[in-house]
Structure 1
């Protein structure tokens, strides 16, 4: 079992900045919220897409003019707060990467180190017209709470990325965005057995492999929030999840389920999802992880079973309309 405390701030910055410096203004808001985060004792904190440079009205600055390096003064300041908090933090920002721009989410560790950087795989055409380059490598980082990855905004439109995270063994995927769509992530979570944390500037939620939405906030009346002054506010989404789980085919594992029940009893929970034909298996003990169960009972994830089927299809027919098997 891996109890994981996830905190998202749906930060909506002010439309105007008195000093005209939106990076400095937004960084100050992020740092103030990281002070607020102490009361939640989080393991992870997430903010919306490019929160460091989220646009003000009529300031006239381009992406190129507000881009920041990684590492840099902003990431250094957030890293210091992350270390004080003892939490992982995703800081989304427009990154200056040599001569290029990137839509990035900087992944900062609980001791203040930069663990890695996730780049948006599918920038909008407008972003690319402004010089933003697409990300090329789906990364997951190993933490004490499982393997963690991130995709950004428009990336969610591409279901193959959900598969890529599953191939990498992700347990928790963060999705900073400025949009509000999330239903596709419910499918990713159910199909592939990982949690998805979606956070934009007014809404946030954690989507579980069992189809539950936790800590959901929508920016309407009753949303728990932090009033930051000057028309800036942040909705607060907090959830505790167990990232030690996986998604498996019900039919393929029908005998395995009973064998696990006989061996481990109440230490393992089963959640049937008839709408997708899966069963989510969840470890409730520190003595046996899902990886232990997979090794002991030769359990096959739904992703692996689908891939095995795909390979057999292509052995039988070279004209299949399915995507070809991965190499």
Structure 2
């Protein structure tokens, strides 16, 4: 009987594939939609006289309340600021003692929330690494609360280094079930050397736990890295924002709410308008509302996003032979060389 059932199922599957195509059974080209939440808030100043363990417990209670603002939206990724596990106003000596007492308590709390909500978590923390070095780090947890990876700040401020923070030279990109994630922290944003490394590594998404905003530099990173950019900013009431790969703000916290939640689609390509205008019109005509072509104006580049569950953005641009922006720029370089 079991063998007969298996044979019947196989025949049904075979017929469905033959008649309707394999896309009925798997959506390998499905649009890569994820929901992102970012919270930007300054950590509280706590009464140091109550002891470090009590401060750790109050810090966990603080984040429990903050996270309640976003977890009911069921985000795929939650981003929190730089040094989000530190109370405000500690001296360097008090910070070192706080780190010792804190241990893994706060990261374990975040891991429990990640596991219960099935969300990735990205956040900034100060930690001592396995070699005893003090680091300003960005931590990425997966949906089970396990550590996907840790990025150590490549460019701490002069004050941080004088206070014992050791800079890193490692530039990892982390594989998640929705795409490739990179991390930059605060002062990192000022250094083209780091940005150029990330351009070469081609992440889909950059998370930015920070104490400063960075202004238009956020858009520069998003556009030049061809990646979504998610800032979580703790300092001076600056907004925490989500930018698309052409540098546009797609969601932002406000003076009333210190968080924002938005759906983004990581199934995208960037194309230049030169030689592509007619092809883009043909693409839109065929796929109508299942493709979005977003023009930010003034830069000659558009964002092509697939909303089609069976055809990816990559397949769409290949179908119409639409030249991607970086391929076009490289062709321009090669053309220039022919005149030298």
Which of the numbers 128, 136, 146 marks the counterpart of 2:179? Answer: 146
Counterparts of 1:79 and 1:68, CA distance in 2: 19
Name the residue aligned to 2:244.
208
Aligned with 1:83: secondary structure? helix
Paired residue for 1:29? 62
Query: Counterpart of 2:40?
Result: 10
- Listed as ranges, the gaps of 5+ residues in structure 1 are 225-234, 318-327
Unaligned runs of 5+ in 2: 1-30
Give the C-alpha shift of residue 93 in structure 1: 0.3
Q: Is the 8 A contact 1:190 1:276 kept in 2?
A: no
Distance 1:161 1:253, change over 3 A: farther
Distance change >3 Å, CA 5–CA 183, structure 1 → 2: same
> 1:251-307: CA deviations, max 9, x gaps?
154454245335433322212233222111111111112233355455553234435
1:206 touches 1:213 (CA, 8 Å); kept in 2? yes
TM-score (norm 2): 0.78
Q: Is the 8 A contact 2:84 2:125 kept in 1?
A: yes
Quick check: which one's helix share is greater? 2
Cα–Cα, structure 1 residues 164 and 58, in superposed 2: closer, same or farther, change >3 Å?
A: closer
Q: Residues 192 and 250 of structure 1: is their aligned pair in 2 closer, same or farther, counting only changes over 3 Å?
A: farther
Question: What are the Cα deviations for residues 37-57 of structure 1, in whole angstroms up to 9, with x where unaligned?
Answer: 321211111111011125x22
Q: Secondary structure at the match of 2:140?
A: strand
- Structure 1: distance between partners of 2:276 and 2:119: 37
Per-residue displacement from partner, 1:215-260 (whole Å, max 9, x unpaired)? Answer: 3224x3xx12xxxxxxxxxx12222222222222221544542453
Count of residues in Structure 1 that have an aligned counterpart in Structure 2: 303
Whichever of the two has the greater Rg, that structure is 2
Give the Cα separation in 2 of the matches to 1:60 and 1:164.
Answer: 32
In 1, Cα distance between equivalents of 2:251 and 2:324: 27
Structure 1 stretch displaced more, 133-142 or 116-125:
133-142
C-alpha spacing 1:183/1:130, structure 2 compared with 1 (3 Å): same
Aligned-partner Cα distance in 2 for 1:176–1:113 = 19
* Residue 84 (1) aligns with residue 116 (2): yes
TM-score by length of 1: 0.80
SS of the equivalent of 1:61 reads: helix
Query: How far is the alpha carbon of 1:136 from its aligned partner?
Result: 2.2
